Amino acid sequence: MRRIRYQEIADVLRVRVATATPGSVLASEAELSAEFVASRVTVRKALDLLRDEGLIDSRQGFGWFVATEPVRQRLEQLGTIESEVEGVGKLSERRIEEFAFVDAPLRVADVLRVAEVLRVKRVNLADGEPFAVVTVWCPAELGSALSRRSVERRPFYELLDRDLRGATQTIAADLVDPADAALLGVPAASPVLRCERVTTDTSGTPVLLSEHVFPAHRTEFVVDLPQAEPSMTPSGLRLVE
């Protein structure tokens, strides 16, 4: 029986997707159209067929990607990304991209109230695939006892010689910059969730400022509201001026 063209394309892509990493981004529709010498309409029908089979999915700003369960992070407690990843049976790894003592940028100096900081930038991976770019700043005095190897193996919460009280997190939508896009393996200017966390010690003094950049198609934040007031407004929502 003669195969319809979009079905032929779907057959090729089905084999390709079967060996691809969950969450990885496929070639664009324009690139697939050129590869298969077919119209965008025909390529879209092939992609829609694979989506109906649950093999791929799409999201505005990302295009098409291999279907995957998002990495979920709960916000009710002061925890680590690694614990969330390991909690769902995935292998958690971190790759250090930068470890340096630098002059504190204006925002960091304002929060931590210091002039010099330790800046650590890393990529977090789940089963070998990047899903977060994390930059952490701490006062140089606190970071002086740390090493590149130590922050690669253990979270700051365990390394700092301070008792911690809690943290304030602010999550916003953003577009990824080219440098972080390359680290995450996503298209430049694609949507991300950007989380800023300010961690304080028991005296209320800020000791860590961290920025977490997550690709929006692979990440979800979960907040339990056991005693929520009746409202349709998401908890913690505020307008940005």
HSE toward the beta carbon, residue 221, CA cutoff 13 A? 23
CATH 1.20.140.10 fits domain 5-66: no
Integer Rg of the chain from CA: 21
Alpha carbon distance 46, 57 (integer Å)? 12
Residue 71 corresponds to which tokens in the numbers above?
Answer: 């990495």
Q: What integer pLDDT is reported at residue 13 of this predicted model?
A: 94
Residues 6+ apart with CB under 8 A from 158: none
Of 140, 195, 74, 131, the closest CA to residue 83 belongs to 74
Do the Cβ atoms of 194 and 212 come closer than 8 Å? Answer: yes
5-66 and 71-222 share one fold: no
Give the C-alpha distances (Å, rounded to integers) separating 136 from 53, 180, 185: 40, 15, 21
Alpha carbon distance 241, 235 (integer Å)? 18
Q: What integer pLDDT is reported at residue 233 of this predicted model?
A: 56
* All structural domains of the chain with their residue ranges: 5-66, 71-222
pTM, full prediction: 0.73
CATH architecture of the domain 71-222 equals 3-Layer(aba) Sandwich (3.40)
In order along its 241 residues, the chain shows pLDDT tens digits of 457 899 999 999 999 999 888 778 888 899 999 999 999 999 999 999 998 888 988 877 778 888 877 666 665 555 566 777 776 677 888 899 999 999 999 999 999 999 999 999 999 988 888 889 999 999 999 999 999 999 988 888 888 888 888 888 888 888 889 999 999 988 888 888 899 999 999 999 999 999 999 988 877 777 776 665 655 555 665 555 5
HSE toward the beta carbon, residue 198, CA cutoff 13 A? 12
Q: What integer pLDDT is reported at residue 162 of this predicted model?
A: 84
Do the Cβ atoms of 211 and 228 come closer than 8 Å? Answer: no
